[in-house]
Structure 1
Amino acid sequence: EAARALGADIRPIASPQDALRIARQEPERQVVFFAAGFETTTAPVAALILEGLPANLYILLSGRLTWPAVAMLLDSEQPGFDALVAPGHVATVMGPEEWRFVAEQHHLPVAVAGFEADSLLAAFYSVLRQRIEGRVFLDNCYPEVAHAGGNPTARRCLHEALEVVDSNWRGIGTIPASGYALRPEYAAHDARQQFPDHADPDRRRQGEMPPGCDCARVVLGRIYPDQCRLYGAGCNPRSPVGPCMVSDEGACRIWWASGVREPAAQDAVAP
């Protein structure tokens, strides 16, 4: 909104193909496609790059890999959870076996689930039973979509168009080998290479967590959403402060939608 107020032409799109269409329709303009997401939504961006881009289309990529963030939490010895229901949409692309390390290296129950109620319930049942019975393994509760090896075409596109790099996670810091970047041969379409002012430190500070916002601790499982210092006070869906309240998928927004409208007592906040 701030950029639009300054005169920027910002358009929400539903698909990478929309960015391609805009660039072709307006060849005299420089079009920057801000592509943010995890493996599932980054794969179509990689495919778009491999198909060939018009000279006026640039990619500002903010792609992330899911499992390194989970591995970082588990390696910290304070993961904030006792079992993991792994994302089925990611497993659809990368393969469910990507999550085997949770059981084999960290001895925690893990199950892959989709978004439907039956798949989620099966995954919940699986990890609870694993914990109760004291045996852990990777259980694929989304077998109709998440197949061993994932999606070979999507993985090939990711590998050929992008490289894995260290990436900064908002409010958390840099996690090694957790992000995607365009390969050097596609530098002509890399917005970070073609518009170097994007790396200006003053602009980078705009992406830092707002003062008083505890979203990073919520995401890391250190506190519950209503234990954030701003929850229900300075931060709510009508005037969100942090990303956990901005997004419909954010933990704080979900808690608010479920009826939790008051902040927890401060003496209950974890250190």
Structure 2
Amino acid sequence: MGPGCPVCVTNMPEVDEAVALAEDGAIVATYGDMYRVPGTNRSLADASAAGADVEIVYSASEVVDLADATPDREVVFFATGFETTAAPTAAILVGDPPENLSVLSAHKYVPPAMAVVAELPDTDIDGFLAAGHAATITGYGLFETFVEEYEVPVVVGGFEPLDVLLGVERLLEYVRDDTAGLENAYPRCVSREGNTAALETMWEVFETTAGEWRGITEIPDANLVLHEAYAEYDARDRFDIEPATGNADPLTEQCLCGDIMAGTADPDECALFGEECTPSNPVGACMVSSEGTCKIWLEYGGRPDL
């Protein structure tokens, strides 16, 4: 799952910012998986249990509806995810959003993180199965320079069972033949150029900056922040955010999520896995997300004995 699912790489201080805004009286809207992700000392679920107003949404457009329905409240969209969700976030901001709506961006940009993972000294990755949903926006041509530079195969795959099997099968053929190549195994949704209209909107609203990916490292040009032209909708500009920090669970220092996302460790190598860290009591984000390796590994029994 490297370089990580969107939930898994959202850094703890970003969660802290969302929690602080909710505790200060804003309505914070976010996607469901983010609700229980631990920050430095608490999650949005914890804030909600203490009386804060946290709303789970399934699309960026729902946040606009929420802001329209509560004109006397500040509504902050804690916006997470890769290019797939960054483009819809951008779309609501170019569409004359309500004045009481702002965005706390934790959006990430995948290609720089792939390069960092490929360059990690302990990484031994034979190939990359690239996510079809992100490539639907960016296009598969984005990976051409990556394949040339790192000499590893990249296959863009979809998410239905047969799509996954096809992507893995094609990737294994490249690995078997010791060949670096790029292939689109999801042609019904992904083109070489991608969704040019969505890309144009995304880059109108966002620009890249360096940022910490939870458990991995600070990655240049891998975080998406709002352009100055859209600063009026930037929650970090609109509010004086002072998150409470400093009381992190000491178990987080033992968490191996970063190594697991980088492919240098398996979940059951973590001393917390299945004991102190479970889906009902997660220490690391990899155990929270439905896309997290630790949660999947625990639910389905790890690597099968083939």
1:170/1:207 contact within 8 Å kept: no
Structure 2 residue 225 is matched with structure 1 residue 155: no
Q: Shift in Å at residue 260 of structure 1?
A: 4.1
Distance 1:55 1:131 in 2: 52
The correspondence for 1:244, drawn from 274, 286, 303, is 286
User: Aligned residues: percent identity?
Assistant: 36
Alignment deviations for residues 131-157 of structure 1 (CA, whole Å, 9 cap, x no partner): 222222101101111001100111011
Structure 2 residue 213 is matched with structure 1 residue 194: no
**Partner of 1:231 in structure 2?**
273
Please tell me the residue identity of whatever aligns with 1:241.
Answer: V
Distance 2:198 2:250 in 1: 32
Structure 2 residue 306 is matched with structure 1 residue 255: no
1:166/1:177 contact within 8 Å kept: yes
Distance 2:272 2:55 in 1: 30
Distance 1:123 1:168 in 2: 30
Distance 1:21 1:233 in 2: 41
Structure 2 residue 258 is matched with structure 1 residue 216: yes
Structure 2 residue 229 is matched with structure 1 residue 185: yes
Go from structure 1 to structure 2 and tell me whether the alpha carbon gap of 1:209 and 1:184 turns closer, same or farther (over 3 Å shift): farther
Runs of 4 or more consecutive aligned structure 1 residues displaced over 3 Å after TM superposition: 202-209
Q: How many residues were matched structurally?
A: 259
Distance 1:192 1:242 in 2: 25
Go from structure 1 to structure 2 and tell me whether the alpha carbon gap of 1:203 and 1:254 turns closer, same or farther (over 3 Å shift): same
**Partner of 1:140 in structure 2?**
184
Alignment deviations for residues 143-186 of structure 1 (CA, whole Å, 9 cap, x no partner): 11100110011101111111111111112231000011111111
Distance 2:250 2:58 in 1: 26
Go from structure 1 to structure 2 and tell me whether the alpha carbon gap of 1:243 and 1:70 turns closer, same or farther (over 3 Å shift): same
Q: Which has the higher contact order (CA 8 A, sep 6+)?
A: 2
* TM-score, length basis structure 2: 0.80
Q: Shift in Å at residue 102 of structure 1?
A: 3.5
Q: Shift in Å at residue 77 of structure 1?
A: 4.0
* TM-score, length basis structure 1: 0.90
Q: Which moved more, 1:80-89 or 1:204-213?
A: 204-213
2:118/2:125 contact within 8 Å kept: no
**Partner of 1:266 in structure 2?**
none
Structure 2 residue 157 is matched with structure 1 residue 113: yes
Please tell me the residue identity of whatever aligns with 2:151.
Answer: H
Structure 2 residue 84 is matched with structure 1 residue 40: yes
